[in-house]
Amino acid sequence: MATYDWVFNSLGLRDWCDGDGSGGSAPMSMADLVGQSGGGAPETSLWDTPFPSMDSLNDACASFPQSREVTQGLERGFLDIKDALSYVLDPITQPLSWALANALWLFQETPWWIMIPALALIVLVVSRSWQLMAFVAGCFAALAFIDYYDYAMQTLAIIFVCAVICVLLGVPIGIAMSRSDKLQRIMIPVLDMLQTLPPFVYLIPLIFLFSVTEPKLYGIAIILYAIVPVIRLTNLGIRLVDKEVIEAADAFGMTKRQKLYGVQIPLALPNIMAGVNQTIMMSLAMVVIASLVSAPGLGVLVLRGIRNLELGVGLISGLGIVLLAVILDRSTKAALARVNAAQKT
């Protein structure tokens, strides 16, 4: 006798539960097997009373649905709309595949004796630091010396494309949130979900929607995971602009557009740059996880080290990711420091 037989008996649903007497499609529990073998079903004490979950109620009534039917129903529902979603999303996301493919080609086909000096020069222009420029050049030279240069360039190309798209999408969304309390109330739960959802979960629906060979599969996952900080900090930065400054701009007769581009964005730039920094770091973190769905780069070597138990490969590729993280973090922080210094003068 199941724990919750009394629920269905008191509601007069025993005939519905018994159905045609076949016992339904629910698998037989261990207690039922023991009872059939003559051992008798163990008595359930009050202390061990199970929660009235779907499976516990199914034990008492075979016609009551099991919890696995919920997950199967969700899966069937997704598969039913998959073709329609793919038909809509494929043309929208195809430019992302082109951008990733072209960036990978550019970063890999450009000779090292052009790419490394070019990257060092970009860092110098951004940071105005010769020490940081030398550090960047030395890191890429070290990766090239141990034949990890191509993998590092693949990772850098993916981060470049995804971070740029995150900024192009995230900053306008953050600005719109700062100008509309209603939009902010709508977006905050969405951003909370994107920020707390485990990274692997991003990949599950995308695998069903897109081919594993398409770059947009991992590109979308990286963008969804990494776009949150730049949206949040753009919204926060603009909202934190001193109200007295806004009142002064109103006194001068500035339009909303003039206030946005001439006052609010310049004053919020440190926060926006901090968001860009965090977005780049999160893109780098997701690139490693995205290697599970064919994303190239150093993440592939990390995955290889785990699968084949190649300790050296895993450690060296992990060190390469750390070096890239340090390079990107120091470069963006140096740019942020220059912005802060320019605002104080």
Q: Is the pLDDT reported for residue 1 higher than 70?
A: no
Q: Tell whether 56 is covered by a domain.
A: yes
CA dihedral (6, 8, 12, 14) positive or negative? negative
Is residue 332 within 8 Å of 276, Cβ to Cβ? yes
- Which 8-state DSSP code applies to residue 50? P
Rounded Cα distance between 173 and 184, Å, is 10
pLDDT > 80? residue 197: yes
Cα distances from 238 to residues 176, 179, 328, 337, in angstroms, run: 10, 9, 25, 19
Q: How far is CA 32 from CA 8, 54, 57, in A?
A: 19, 17, 14
If asked whether residues 169 and 254 sit together in one domain, one would say yes
Instruction: For residue range 147-164, list pLDDT tens digits in order.
Output: 999 999 999 999 999 999
Contact 57, 29 (CB under 8 A): no
Does 276 map to a domain? yes
Asked whether the predicted pLDDT for residue 333 surpasses 80, the reply is: yes
Question: Which carries the bigger pLDDT value, residue 19 or residue 146?
Answer: 146
Domain finish residue from 17, 38, 65 = 65
Q: Which two tokens stand for residue 279?
A: 């977005």
Kindly indicate the confidence band of residue 60, based on its pLDDT and cuts at 50, 70 and 90: confident
Domain boundary residue among 65, 95, 112?
A: 65
> Are residues 120 and 163 located together in one domain of the fold?
yes
In a domain, 73, yes or no: no
Q: Give yes or no for a contact between 119 and 159, defined as CB atoms under 8 angstroms apart.
A: no
With bands split at pLDDT 50, 70 and 90, how would you rate the model's confidence at 20?
A: low
70 occurs within a structural domain: no
This prediction has a pTM of: 0.84
d(CA 313, CA 321): 12
- Residues 83, 54 within the same domain: no
Token pair of 256 as six digits: 């909303």
For residues 45 and 95, state if they share a domain. Answer: no
Rounded distance between C-alpha atoms, residue 70 and residue 67, angstroms: 5
Q: Which of 231, 206, 230 is nearest to 295 (CA)?
A: 206
Q: Nearest 5°: phi and psi at 11?
A: -90, 0
131 within domain boundaries: yes
Q: Which residue has the higher pLDDT, 184 or 53?
A: 184
Domain count of the fold of the chain: 2
Domain containing residue 16: 5-65
Last residue of a domain, one of 18, 42, 65: 65
Say if residue 90 is in the same domain as residue 192.
yes
Given a cut of 60, whether residue 70 has pLDDT beyond it is yes
Share of the chain above pLDDT 70, in %: 92
Please indicate, yes or no, whether residues 236 and 100 belong to a single structural domain of this protein.
Answer: yes
- Judge if 214 and 258 occupy the same domain: yes
Q: What is the mean pLDDT of residues 171-200?
A: 93
Domain presence at residue 71: no
Q: Report whether pLDDT(23) > 80.
A: no
The answer on 220 and 330 residing in a single domain is: yes
Q: Are residues 82 and 134 in the same domain?
A: yes
Question: Alpha-carbon distance 23 to 59, whole Å?
Answer: 10
pLDDT in tens, 24-56: 455 555 555 555 555 545 566 777 788 888 888
- The answer on 83 and 47 residing in a single domain is no
> Whose CA is closest to 268, among 247, 240, 243, 245?
240
Rounded Cα gap, residues 10 and 286, in angstroms: 53
Return the DSSP state at 25.
Answer: S
Using DSSP's 3-state secondary structure scheme, residue 45 falls into coil
Instruction: Extract the tokens encoding 209.
Output: 């929607």
Q: In this structure, are residues 153 and 106 in contact, taking their beta carbons and an 8 Å threshold?
A: no
Closest CA to 224 of 248, 249, 193: 193
Kindly state the helix (H) or strand (E) to which residue 295 belongs, with its residue range. none
CATH number at residue 103: 1.10.3720.10
Mean pLDDT of the chain: 87
Do 174 and 230 reside in the same domain of the chain?
Answer: yes
Rounded Cα distance, 273 and 250, in Å: 26
**From 44-58, 126-140, 295-309, the region with the lowest mean pLDDT:** 44-58
Q: Classify residue 72: in a domain, yes or no.
A: no
For residue 345, what pLDDT band results from cuts at 50, 70 and 90? low
Nearest Cα to 238, choosing from 175, 189, 329, 318? 175
Amino acid at 302: V
Q: Which residue has the tokens 């199967």?
A: 72
What's the count of helices (H) and strands (E) in the chain, helices before strands?
17, 0
Mean pLDDT over 312-339 rounds to 89
In a domain, 45, yes or no: yes
Q: Over the stretch 259-297, which tens digit does the pLDDT of each residue have?
A: 998 899 989 998 999 999 999 999 998 988 888 888 899
Render the burial of 5-31: b for 16+ CB within 10 Å, e for the rest.
Answer: eebbeeeeeeeebeeeeeebebeeeeb
pLDDT of residue 35: 52
Residues 22 and 117 in one domain: no
Q: What is the pLDDT of residues 74-128, one digit of tens each?
A: 889 988 988 888 888 889 999 999 999 999 999 999 999 999 999 999 999 988 8
